[in-house]
Amino acid sequence: MRPGKIIAALFVVAALAACATPYRESNALVEAFTVPGGYRNTEVQPGVWRVVFSGNGNTTNETIQTYWLYRCAELAIEKGFDGFEIVSGSPLVALPDFGATPSGSLLHKTASHGSAPIFIPMYGGPPAILVQRVGDIRLLHNPIMPMAGKVFDAAKLKAALDPYVNRKKCDENNVCTHEHRYLRESAAGDGKGA
């Protein structure tokens, strides 16, 4: 390979490394050449799935939580269910942290969401940092009785999150800071929640 092409390739890799993890399935082959992270899900018992979203060191907690919830809703719909209940994992945060930036304190980020940093050695450079949200969900059929921050109608949640997941991104390709009304909705639709 010519030196000019090698330098150009290194600039592309460096530019990608400065971005947050996009919403996608975790794939080791793709991650070897681009930004690490993504979602994975595994059925741990009938109707109960462990959903993981890993973000790199540039991915905000708001992005990780938004992508994790979106994947939960998407999974429920894909499997022919109408909703889901969070049965384990760290609590959801209903208000955005307007003071946090992607380059903010990793300890603050991980402590506020109960996630843990994972250091992954990469050849030829410093370790990459992955921050994860891991939780188990139980898939549900109708009738769904939404409970703030705990039980969700999958189609409604997916529709509420779609503008943040699939449209314009903000700072370092993270989801734009937004009000998390979808975490405060209850079955009565009163907007009260945990």
Averaged pLDDT, groups of 10, the chain, 194 residues long = 50 54 78 73 96 91 95 98 92 57 34 40 48 94 95 97 95 92 75 40
**51-62 core/surface letters (b: 16 or more CB in 10 A; e: else):** bbbbbbbbbbbb
Distances, alpha carbon 10 to alpha carbons 3, 147, 153, 155, 190, in Å? 11, 48, 44, 41, 52
Nearest to 20 by CA among 136, 191, 140, 172: 172
User: Given this model, what pLDDT does residue 21 score?
Assistant: 87
Nearest to 144 by CA among 69, 94, 81, 92: 81
User: Given this model, what pLDDT does residue 37 score?
Assistant: 87
User: Given this model, what pLDDT does residue 131 score?
Assistant: 84
User: Given this model, what pLDDT does residue 108 score?
Assistant: 30
Residue pair 34/15 in contact by the 8 Å Cβ criterion: no
- Supply the pTM of this predicted model: 0.72
Domains in the chain: boundaries: 3-183
User: Given this model, what pLDDT does residue 135 score?
Assistant: 95
User: Given this model, what pLDDT does residue 31 score?
Assistant: 52
User: Given this model, what pLDDT does residue 139 score?
Assistant: 98
User: Given this model, what pLDDT does residue 91 score?
Assistant: 80
